[in-house]
Amino acid sequence: MVAIGKPRGTRDFTPDEMERRRAIEKKMRDVFERYGYREIVTPTIENMSLFTMKSGEGIVEETYAFNDKSGRMLALRPELTAPAMRFYLEKLQMEPKPLKIYYFGNCFRYDRPQKGRYREFWQMGCELIGSDKPEAIAELISTAYFVLKEAGLKNVQLRTGDLDILRSSIEKLGVEKADEIMRLIDKSDYEGVESLIEEKSGADEFMEFLKCRDFKSLGKFFDDVKIKRLGDVLEWLSVFGTPYILDTSIARGLDYYKGIVFEIDAPSLGAEKQLCGGGEYSLIPLLGGKDVPTSGFAIGFDRIVLALEKEGFSFPPSKEIVCILPIGGEMRKEAISLATKLREKGIMVEVDLMRRSMQKSLQYADRIRAKFAIIVGPDEWKKGTVIIKNMQSGEQKEVRKKELHNFL
Ligand code: HAM
């Protein structure tokens, strides 16, 4: 036991874990870039007021907030959409539209930790600023889908809905507690919803609407004008080659959403199965800016890693390292100068720093899964050669120093 542990809900990552995470991160970034998104970075801390405006009660309760030494109320960012919009207003408004930005960063929520739910977690996400054409929203949703596919996930489920339609159908019920209904729907607590609205006329129809998963049947509840935009986006999703399910009951937890919304799940993950969430939203007018269409999504990076493990994904093997081992103390300097030369050529090299015996050094090379050991002996060095040992086969070969890097 260490005397001081890490805070609840946070994690350390071993070198092996980081290698896997970085490999997945890279694949995901590549897809954002293929869709024309460019990366931004914003601060880990923001003014708390950025998040109190429209993120919703849940987020505010979950936000780590503190006063700094000058008494400013700051927050560790619980998400990256509000920071991205602040940045847009401060610096990016003159950029050509549509403006496509993506980010990868740690977020903090004072949540009850469990598998897949952490107090510090990583989001990779993006914002699309300047177009609300149905094909723009469909491209956004497709980006999310293909990022997850490229990460290596096989089993994901994309659900798309429309908050304007959902809110209208709640309005039709004539209830005062519309927000509470939205919250219950977001938690999939349908019994809770039913008990809140049971007295209302139209309650049965509303429950039927919530379960509607087929666009044609939506016509039973709304006229064509109301559902046209959703229909258009779904059609464009097919053009982008993106499989989806219509889900009328997507409520999204954050208050800034409106219009088309979507979520992507990994059914294999159980309780914390939501990998990605997003849609259209409005934040810029609240920040005092000129209104412009905005939409986006964020992927829970930690959950991607969990879902890949669950699916038995074979992560790329570790990068191969070469160990340089001097024979006896007198070859130590030669070994180190050889290491420097090979490192300059981009080869990953370890050189003995423990003054170990040859036998111990070889055991070490084996433990760190080195592909080759390069044995630097005085007789070979004089001839301009070294011995290369293949750590897997045990085979040894004398190679000229000059040809070494081609050989590796
Ligand atoms: P969100 O649904 O709150 O949306 O979070 C997005 C994703 O982050 C979730 O689907 C989940 O995978 C992951 N996530 C959330 N909380 C945790 C946690 N405590 N531990 C691990 N993973 C978590 C947003 O944050 C919006 N800003 C997305 C967006 C971008 N909307 C428009 N643009």
Question: In the predicted model, is pLDDT for residue 369 greater than 90?
Answer: yes
Confidence label for 14 from pLDDT (cuts 50, 70 and 90): very high
**Residue nearest atom 7 in ligand 1 by C-alpha distance:** 300
Which residues, 6+ apart, have CB-to-CB distance to 22 below 8 Å? none
pLDDT attached to residue 383 = 96
302 close to ligand 1 (CB < 6 Angstrom): yes
- Quote the percentage of the chain above a pLDDT of 70: 98
What pLDDT score was predicted for residue 58? Answer: 65
pLDDT of the residue at 359: 95
Residue 194, pLDDT > 80, answer yes
Q: Which amino acid is at 251?
A: A
256 CB under 6 A from ligand 1? no
Which protein residue has the closest C-alpha to ligand 1 atom 18? 117
Q: Is 113 in the pocket of ligand 1 (CB under 6 A)?
A: no
Query: What is the model's pLDDT at position 1?
Result: 66
CB distance 277 to ligand 1 below 6 Å = yes
* Rounded average pLDDT over 61-70: 93
- Span 200-213, average pLDDT: 91
Compute the mean pLDDT over every residue in the chain, rounded to the nearest whole number: 94
pTM value surpassing 0.75: yes
Q: Mean pLDDT throughout 227-245?
A: 97
State the Cα–Cα distance between residues 80 and 106, nearest whole angstrom: 9
- Residue in 26, 199, 38 with CA at minimum distance from that of residue 127: 38
Tell me the CA–centroid distance for residue 300 and ligand 1, in Å.
6
* pLDDT surpasses 70 at 278: yes
Structure-token pair, residue 120: 């510090």
Question: Average pLDDT of 252-267?
Answer: 93
Q: Contact 311/268 with Cβ under 8 angstroms?
A: yes
pLDDT tens by residue, 301-360: 999 999 999 999 999 888 889 999 999 889 999 999 999 999 999 999 999 999 999 999
Mean pLDDT within 19-26: 96
Q: In this model, does residue 393 exceed pLDDT 80?
A: yes
pLDDT, residue 329, reads 87
Average pLDDT over residues 145-152: 98
Is ligand 1 within 6 A of the CB of residue 159? no
How much is the pLDDT for 54? Answer: 67
56: confidence class by pLDDT, cuts 50, 70, 90: low
> What pLDDT score was predicted for residue 179?
87
